[in-house]
Amino acid sequence: MKERIKSEVKIFGINFFLVSAVFTTAVIVLSATTGELLDFYPVSFEVAFPFFAAIAAGEWGKTGADSNFDIIAAQSSSLFKWVLLRYLTAFAISSLAAGLGMAGASVMRYEMPLWELIVIYLPPAFFLSSLCALSGLLCRQEHIASLISGVIWLVILLTRSLLRFPGLEYIYLFIRFAKAPDNVWLWNKGLVTLAGLFLWGVIYRKCKRMG
């Protein structure tokens, strides 16, 4: 398993780590320079970093767009394990970058505890990157998976006003950014996580048919 993970990391290349480092550094610098009028933590760790995790899953953790996909699908003992391992590698590295950003931002300014930052980050990051993983498996053309997740990310941001309709606060992806009542957001994060797991159920069935 370790050798396979090392192999996947090599496939990602140095650019992935450079982009992750630059993005994390930028967030830390902004945490020190941004004024108090901006809810910095929700914007950075519930909105921006989950989008970065989705891009990582789509651009570096690509599956269907991999030039060797047909060979891997035909010869791999488990296509799902290969897809899952590549996804987990991309998600783990981007989440490590998010964790470093959280630690650095907490030193520069304090808005909420670290455990809460992790909770607001993981569900939307997991959902968006899982959506990107599913799109990457279904669409063989490069960048389509990232485009699909990016469009959905943007649409969700632009439809925050729909929260006036009862019930939508339980499924809105960026609930802390939208400043929903405190008694809702933990339920919201649980439901978003379940939605991400559902996507992986779809990925599993698709891999079984392709493998």
pLDDT digit string, tens, across residues 56-71: 999 888 888 777 787 7
For the cut 60, the answer to whether the pLDDT of residue 37 exceeds it is: no
Q: How confident is the model at residue 211 (pLDDT cuts 50, 70, 90)?
A: low
- Give 23's Cβ-side CA count (13 Å radius): 23
**pLDDT tens per residue across span 168-198:** 999 999 999 988 777 799 999 999 999 999 9
CA separation, residue 83 to residues 18, 132, 167 (Å): 24, 12, 34
**pLDDT tens per residue across span 123-178:** 999 999 999 999 999 888 888 999 999 999 999 999 988 888 888 999 999 999 98
User: Pick the residue with more confidence: 75 or 161?
Assistant: 161
Mean pLDDT for the stretch of residues 7-26: 85
For the cut 70, the answer to whether the pLDDT of residue 2 exceeds it is: no
pTM, two decimal places:
0.91
Q: How confident is the model at residue 10 (pLDDT cuts 50, 70, 90)?
A: confident
Percent of the chain with pLDDT over 90: 54
pLDDT score of 91: 95
- Residues 197 and 203: their CA atoms lie apart, in Å, by 10
| Closest to 16 measured CA to CA, from 50, 58, 48 | 58
Mean pLDDT for the stretch of residues 106-113: 83
Are 39 and 177 contacting, i.e. CB atoms less than 8 angstroms apart?
yes
- Residues 177 and 157: their CA atoms lie apart, in Å, by 9
Helical H runs in the chain? 2-12, 14-33, 40-41, 49-55, 69-75, 79-108, 114-138, 144-158, 185-210
- Residues 43 and 41: their CA atoms lie apart, in Å, by 5
All residues at 6 or more sequence positions from 96 whose CB lies less than 8 Å from its CB, including other chains: none
- Residues 83 and 209: their CA atoms lie apart, in Å, by 14
pLDDT score of 121: 97
- Across the chain, mean pLDDT equals 88
